[in-house]
Structure 1
Amino acid sequence: MIKATPFDFPYDGRLVAENTALVVIDLQQDFLSTTGYFARKGYDPSPLRAILPAVSRLIAAAREAGVSIVHTRQGYRADMADMTPYEKWRRRRAGLDGTEILLRSGPGFQIAPEIDVAPQDIIVDKTCNGAFTYTDFELVLRARGITHLLFCGCTTDVCVHTTLREACDRNFQCLTISDACASGDGRAHEAALHMVTVEDGVFGVLADSGAVIEGLSRLGNKAR
């Protein structure tokens, strides 16, 4: 089990590598760079970049334990055919017209080079904040027998939390890794982490990366 709040994960004590995935949300250049979407909206991307070492350690531990790794990327088609009028209006309002920011054709759509993406990893491309909406994410998880999800990435209050809520509603067992998630808004980050634990874990549990890595190391030892 993994030491967590408000209870250790998973609740029934049965953590199995083959049924578990580490979900790395949107660690793309558009959110992490000083010229990407996040920075253009006036947010400081440095808190997002600060979690990269912890995420890298988690990925390494997950690989060693035999846990699946899923990366998500947010962005629209190059022709913007999948973008609603409201989303186009927000894009103009943000001064992004004429740029490739948040488009799948742009360099900012790619995952940051600091993140190790292996050929066997799963990549889910999405247009919405939640990774389940209009994607094959759930189908892939069900096909692989994955029932337990460990969340990290950015941003805590938007894409991480939206995907977490979607997962909980689909009866996945969820753990959010507190020091491997980040937001440009400190208050929103803290509120999002707090919301995980309310009502005795309505959105699963909260743990730090050290506890998760320790738990994953025990899975790896069992496999050997």
Structure 2
Amino acid sequence: MSRAALVVIDVQESFRQRPIWAHASQPDIVDQVNRLVDAARRRGDLVVWVLHAEPGTGGVFDPALGHVRLIDGLAPAAGEPTLVKTSHNAFTTTNLQQVLTLAGIREVTVCGIRTEQCVETTTRVGCDLGYEMTFVTDATVTFPTPHRDLPADAPLERILADPRTLSTADIVARTEYALAGRFATVRTVAELTDPVAVGA
């Protein structure tokens, strides 16, 4: 029995419904995730799929609208659990910890959307719960993030034009600095899937 799991977080259609998707940091996220999933399955690792839902909100994360589903090209295999969360991290509002405990998992690799939000938060909580966490930077997605003083309803054009907007490159770099050596080992898809790199 494997002691490792891959947790795929919020790679769902909801995000593609927003105009800012055109500015995603990793537009080939489906291919990147599939590379990790294929490698995990070959090793016999557990693959867990997580979706984010905000019932009753009428927004893109409201299950009633039909967008709370994996992006086309991703599909769980038989026996791979799909959990639905309502918090930022994948532990608090799901039975993820129970799933991992019952499977004897001690090492958890995470990927998904968004880099600095749900994926990073899951990484931090997982570390605090005692798991050995691996954060796969180039299998996460983030978006340009507006300054806190910008109105919540600011149009995308204004967000992109604002010099205070944090770029996706800056967000990824900040997340790596915050996690590495503290909460997780930061790796790339190639490092986890390339036979030469894996064996190094």
RMSD across aligned positions (CA): 2.2
**Structure 1 residue corresponding to 2:7, chosen from 18, 23, 41:** 23
Residues of 1 paired with 2:48 and 2:103: CA distance?
12
SS at the partner of 2:25? helix
Shift of 1:104: 2.0
Structure 2 CA distance for aligned equivalents of residues 216 and 133 of structure 1? 37
**SS at 1:194's partner residue?**
helix
Structure 2 residue matching 1:134: 3-state secondary structure: coil
Please, which runs of 5 or more residues in structure 1 have no aligned partner? 1-16, 81-90, 92-98, 220-224
1:66 aligns with 2:44: yes
Contact 1:61/1:216 (8 A) holds in 2: no
Query: Does the 8 Å CA contact 1:48/1:184 hold for their aligned counterparts?
Result: no
* Pairwise CA distance, 1:44: 3.6
* Residues 48 and 154 in structure 1, CA contact (< 8 A), matched pair in contact too: no
**Which residue in the other structure is 2:75 paired with?**
116
**Residues 194 and 159 of structure 1, relative CA distance in 2, 3 Å threshold:** same
- Residue deviations 1:111-152, cap 9 Å, x none? 111113212211110001111112111111111111100111
C-alpha change, 1:190 and 1:62, in structure 2 (3 Å) is same
Checking the alignment, whether the CA contact within 8 Å between 2:36 and 2:193 is kept in structure 1 is: yes
Map 1:88-167; keep pairs closer than 5 Å: 99=58, 101-167=60-126
- Residue identity in the other structure for 1:127: T
The CA deviation at 1:214 is 3.5
Q: 2:36 aligned with 1:52, yes or no?
A: no
Is the contact between residue 5 and residue 46 of structure 2 (CA under 8 Å) also seen in structure 1?
A: yes
Identical positions, percent: 24
Aligned length: 175
Q: Which 4+ runs in 1 deviate beyond 6 A?
A: 215-219
**Counterpart in the other structure of 2:138:** 179
> Is contact 2:90-2:96 (8 Å) kept?
yes
For residues 160-215 of structure 1, the C-alpha deviation after alignment (integer angstroms, 9 at most, x for no partner) is 01111110000000011121112013122221122111xxx111211111111146
TM-score (norm 2): 0.80
Give the TM-score normalised by structure 1. Answer: 0.71
Among 173, 176, 179, the residue aligned to 1:190: 173
Instruction: Give the unaligned 5+ runs of structure 2.
Output: 145-167
